[in-house]
Amino acid sequence: MVFTKMEENKTYFGELGHGIKTLAVGMKTTWKEYFKDFFTNKSTEQYPENRKTTLHVSARHRGRLAFKRDENGAYKCTACTLCEKACPNGTIKITSHMAEEPETGKKKKVLDDYQYDLGDCMFCQLCTNACNFDAIEFTNDFENAVFDRSKLVLHLDKEQYQGGSLPNLLDGGAEWQVGKFNTKTK
Amino acid sequence: MFDFSIVTQWFDALLRETLGLGDFLSILIECVLVGVIVLTAYAVIAMILIFMERKVCAYFQCRLGPMRVGYWGLMQVLADVLKMLIKEIFFVDKADKFLYLVAPLLVIIGSVGAFCFLPWNNGATILDFNVGVFLLTAVSSIGVVGIFLAGWGSNNKYSVVSAMRGAVQMISYEMSLCLCLITAVILTGTMQMSGIVEAQTGPFKWLIIQGHIPAFIAFIIFLIAGNAEANRGPFDMAEAESELTAGHHTEYSGMGFGFFYLAEFLNLFIISGIAATVFLGGWAPLNIGIEAFDTWMNYIPGIVWFMVKAFGIVWLLMWVKWTFPRLRIDQILKLEWKYLMPMGLINLVLMTVFVALGLYIK
């Protein structure tokens, strides 16, 4: 058995007193948690009821993969396939072809299709870490349930992702506050 | 105080004299009736306790608990019970079928048996022997056998480990439990449940006030040992969800599991009920010697007093359960044999000295 030095130095009654003292501290802590703002001091949310009012989903929560786009809707993906190679599940399939740029005359890869299978994804974030061009990101858009498996196969370059089924979800939704959740509003 | 024995005697007279039934028939009818009432009360209290446990636990953890089924989740337990009742009971391969079947029955028999000793009201104690407390501890110990057999009979290594742990723990803690009860018996001078409560009626007569220091120490030790005896709180080592799945009742389904579950919660209530009876005066109302106050307190029925006290202690034990982490087996045995048992013995001597010198509140 391993004893810490502190415990070894205690006498029988010293240990007893110490034990009672620390137990009392624990009881006091839970007592406070129980009675402090008895009806509102809750850190859980009642999800479907509050989804359009007080729902908070942290902005860094990984809901699904999306292309980062600028104001013109242009994406930065260069079809380098680093994300495809980084993906442990084979979730990402990139097809591309070589084409000559009209201005410079250099040959360059052009993205044909960026296929992302949400159903296979395990949300490990290795793809966004691998990306050298800051082209993809995980958004906290989490309401991804669909009725057909094929609808989970997304083509990120072709879709016009508007972000989230809920109002200002991508910014994290409502402010996160313990005890202020209105559990009754739809 | 309203004496419930008026009702029981009226019913007995109704059967024997008005209806003219013989000894055998009237006793049979009375026994069946009492049995039905006991089992109903048992089931209802278990449901209340399960709901209370879930809500209290939730509020300690800053959650809301069950909220979906019925208003404020009130129907949740009913739904759970219904689910439990319609589940299939099946046997494990190579399980000892007989022991496997008998174990939950033993557990529930021990629990219901102990449940019958609780004094609900003045004159409403179902089993009221002159060796009450003594017999109560004996009957409640049958549960240990059930737990041990359940572990042994299920052909599951987790269950066996759990059964060993449970037996070690429960047999150890029975020692301090009984020592505390004996300490109380020294002061009340009787082992009969109704007598113990009778000794606590009157101003400042609740045992914990009457016997002050030794009674308070005995009360605390009783609660700790009782918590361990009910396999709960920081002493839920026999169940140890994280290590042993569900311990001795891993292999049970349907009502087999239901019996263990019921017994577990009812044991909590029984421990609280005994603590309320022996130390807080059972159905005895709070009297402080001022005439007006005492008469008003006496208007509140005894069963309300008993229930309030018992559920108060249940809440106390739940508070303990949701505060402290589980103990290791060596820590559990150390707590019992190194601290609680010697303290209980010294406390017993202390109480004897107090009673002999008349240092308690008369």
The number of distinct structural domains making up chain A is 2
Asked whether residue A82 falls in the same domain as residue A124, the answer is yes
Separation CA B199–CA B278 (nearest Å): 10
Residue A30: which of B64, B323, B338 has the nearest Cβ? B323
- For residue A76, is it within any domain? yes
Write down the pLDDT at residue B123: 79
Write down the pLDDT at residue A184: 53
- For residue A31, is it within any domain? yes
- For residue A88, is it within any domain? yes
Asked whether residue A139 falls in the same domain as residue A67, the answer is yes
Residue A108 binned pLDDT confidence (cut-offs 50, 70, 90): confident
| Beta pairing class for A107-117 and A136-139 | unpaired
- For residue A43, is it within any domain? no
Report yes or no: B157 at the A interface, CB cutoff 8 Å: no
Q: Average pLDDT, stretch A67-82?
A: 86
A-contacting residues in B 266-295 (Cβ below 8 Å): none
Give the three-state DSSP class for B168. Answer: helix
Q: What are phi and psi of A39, to 5 degrees?
A: -95, -15
CA distances to A52, B145, B189, B191, B193 from B133, rounded to whole Å, are 59, 20, 12, 5, 7
Identify all chain B residues contacting A12, using CB atoms and an 8 Å cutoff.
Answer: 338
Asked whether residue A71 falls in the same domain as residue A151, the answer is yes
Indicate yes or no: CB of B319 within 8 angstroms of CB of A27.
Answer: yes
A127-136, A169-178, B91-100: least confidently modelled range: A169-178
Asked whether residue A23 falls in the same domain as residue A87, the answer is no
Indicate yes or no: CB of B63 within 8 angstroms of CB of A43.
Answer: yes
**pLDDT above 90 as % of chain A:** 16
Task: State the distance between the two ends of chain B, measured CA to CA, in whole angstroms.
Answer: 21
Structure tokens given for B337: 């044999």
Query: Which one, of B289, B300, B301, B311, lies nearest residue B49 by Cα?
Result: B311
Task: Name the DSSP class of B39.
Answer: H
Separation CA A57–CA A64 (nearest Å): 13
- Where does residue B85 rank: exposed (0-12), middle (13-18), buried (19+ CB within 10 A)? exposed
Query: C-alpha B230: how far from its chain's center?
Result: 8
- For residue A64, is it within any domain? yes
Asked whether residue A116 falls in the same domain as residue A69, the answer is yes
Report yes or no: B316 at the A interface, CB cutoff 8 Å: no
Separation CA B82–CA B76 (nearest Å): 10
More confident residue, A174 or B98: B98
Closest residue in A to B321 (Cα) is A27
Given a contact cutoff of 8 angstroms between Cβ atoms, the answer to whether B114 and B139 are in contact is: yes
More confident residue, A184 or B97: B97
Residue A30: which of B63, B64, B322 has the nearest Cβ? B322
Residue A186 binned pLDDT confidence (cut-offs 50, 70, 90): very low
Using only C-alpha atoms, chain A has a radius of gyration, in whole angstroms, of 26
Asked whether residue A26 falls in the same domain as residue A70, the answer is no
A178 pLDDT higher than 70: no
The range of the structural domain enclosing residue A22 comes to: 5-35
Write down the pLDDT at residue A7: 54
Write down the pLDDT at residue A91: 92
Q: How far is B163 from chain A (nearest CA, A)?
A: 24
Report yes or no: B315 at the A interface, CB cutoff 8 Å: no
Asked whether residue A15 falls in the same domain as residue A99, the answer is no
Separation CA A144–CA A121 (nearest Å): 12
Asked whether residue A91 falls in the same domain as residue A19, the answer is no
Instruction: Tell me the β-bridge partners of B225.
Output: none
CA distances to B41, B64, B113, B231 from B268, rounded to whole Å, are 15, 23, 14, 9
Closest residue in B to A41 (Cα) is B62
Q: How far is A62 from chain B (nearest CA, A)?
A: 24
* B197-231 residue pLDDT tens: 888 887 888 888 888 888 889 999 999 998 888 88
Indicate yes or no: CB of A26 within 8 angstroms of CB of B62.
Answer: no
A108-112, A133-137, B356-360: least confidently modelled range: B356-360
Domain harbouring A116, CATH code: 3.30.70.3270
Separation CA A87–CA B7 (nearest Å): 77
More confident residue, A163 or B261: B261
Separation CA B172–CA A145 (nearest Å): 53
Indicate yes or no: CB of B62 within 8 angstroms of CB of A31.
Answer: no
Report yes or no: B337 at the A interface, CB cutoff 8 Å: no
Asked whether residue A71 falls in the same domain as residue A138, the answer is yes
Flag residues of chain B having pLDDT under 70.
1, 240
Q: How far is B57 from chain A (nearest CA, A)?
A: 9
Residue B64: which of A16, A26, A42 has the nearest Cβ? A42
Separation CA B77–CA B64 (nearest Å): 15
- For residue A141, is it within any domain? yes
Report yes or no: A42 at the B interface, CB cutoff 8 Å: yes
The letter for the amino acid at B164 is M
* B157-199 residue pLDDT tens: 888 888 888 888 888 888 899 899 998 888 888 888 888 888 8
CA distances to A45, B28, B161, B181, B220 from A33, rounded to whole Å, are 17, 52, 35, 34, 23
- For residue A183, is it within any domain? no
Using only C-alpha atoms, chain B has a radius of gyration, in whole angstroms, of 21
Residue A26: which of B324, B338, B339 has the nearest Cβ? B324
Identify all chain B residues contacting A41, using CB atoms and an 8 Å cutoff.
Answer: 62
| Beta pairing class for A153-155 and A107-117 | antiparallel
Residue B62: which of A1, A26, A33 has the nearest Cβ? A33
- For residue A12, is it within any domain? yes
Question: ipTM of the predicted structure?
Answer: 0.75
Report yes or no: B346 at the A interface, CB cutoff 8 Å: no
Asked whether residue A29 falls in the same domain as residue A68, the answer is no
Asked whether residue A79 falls in the same domain as residue A138, the answer is yes
Residue with tokens 């505390």: B180
The letter for the amino acid at B201 is T
How many residues are present in chain B? 362
Structure tokens given for B41: 């009360």
